[in-house]
Structure 1
Amino acid sequence: MSIDRLLKAQKQENQEIVTAILDDGSNTSAEYTIEHHFASDNFDRLEKAAVDAFKAGFEVSDAEEVELEDGSVILCFDAIAHHLLDVDLLDKACESLLLLAAKHKVDYDGWGTYFIDENGEEIREEDFEDGEFEDDDYEDDDFEAQEKKKNPLH
């Protein structure tokens, strides 16, 4: 896929992700940790991409090996930024990072962040242990009714 098509798809995804996170009640005025994901099976290429990401002002995580479902191993790192959850900022970052990935022939695999509560605290998946999450607004009956509306045959 061409860079232009990748960028267009990424911009659409940026808008969808930001809307979903904010619609879930995440803090609109907080500074977010944005982790842009890179991967390659070639360490030298990945290292050069990491150096360029660092030079562009991103924090860079150490490379990690990840085993895929088929048993193959790839190397990954994150280019990390801290800013508002703003679509324009994300679009600009994604454009520069997609170009960086293309230059070094590595994969740019999008970005991720964490929910931030009303107190400005990041809520990470590891913050929840099985069975510990409680939501005062959650009602089993409400959930079942909503699911029936979504899937009336089930």
Structure 2
Amino acid sequence: MSIERLLTAQKQENLEIVEAILGDGSKPDAEYTIEHHFSSTSFDRLEKAAVDAFKQGFEVNDAEEMELEDGSVIYCFDAVAQHKLEVEILDLACEGLLKLAQKQKVDYDGWGTYFIDENGEVRDDEFDDELDDGEDISR
């Protein structure tokens, strides 16, 4: 899929996720921790992507090795940012990260965040897994 199509789909997904989180009552003016997910079967490529994400201003988590159901191994990391849950900010970040993923030949697996209640408390139910109604909002 072309980068333009990926970006168009990601922008639509960004809008849907933000609307879902805020529609469920998450605090609109809070600072959110946004975790952008990357994966690859090549540790070297993933490492280069992590360096590029760091250069773009993201905090980068250590890479983890994961074994898939079929026995194959992938490596993954998160590029983390803190900001308000605004579609425009997410669209810009995703554009840069999708281009980074394409350049380094790794997978950009979308982003996730956590629900923040009216008291500013973060709840454990991560919003890149599933919404309360069962709608999958992860990439």
| TM > 0.5 | yes
Paired residue total: 126
Q: Who is 2:24 aligned against?
A: 24
1:69-148 mapped onto 2 (5 Å cutoff): 69-125=69-125
Question: How far 1:84 sits from its partner (Å)?
Answer: 0.3
SS in 2 for 1:49: helix
Question: How far 1:7 sits from its partner (Å)?
Answer: 0.3
- Name the amino acid aligned to 2:37: H
Question: How far 1:27 sits from its partner (Å)?
Answer: 0.3
Normalization by structure 2: what TM-score? 0.89
SS in 2 for 1:124: strand
State whether structure 2 residue 72 is matched by structure 1 residue 68: no
Q: Who is 1:12 aligned against?
A: 12
Instruction: Show structure 1 runs of 5+ residues with no match.
Output: 127-154
Question: How far 1:125 sits from its partner (Å)?
Answer: 3.5
Matched residues, percent identical? 76
Distance 1:125 1:7 in 2: 26
Q: Who is 2:132 aligned against?
A: none
- Name the amino acid aligned to 1:96: G
- For residues 97-134 of structure 1, the C-alpha deviation after alignment (integer angstroms, 9 at most, x for no partner) is 000000000000000000001111111139xxxxxxxx
Show structure 1 runs of 4+ deviating over 4 A: none
Name whichever structure is richer in helix by fraction. 1
SS in 1 for 2:85: coil
- Name the amino acid aligned to 1:95: E
Normalization by structure 1: what TM-score? 0.80
- Name the amino acid aligned to 2:18: V
Name whichever structure is richer in strand by fraction. 2
Q: Who is 2:53 aligned against?
A: 53
SS in 1 for 2:97: helix
SS in 1 for 2:46: helix
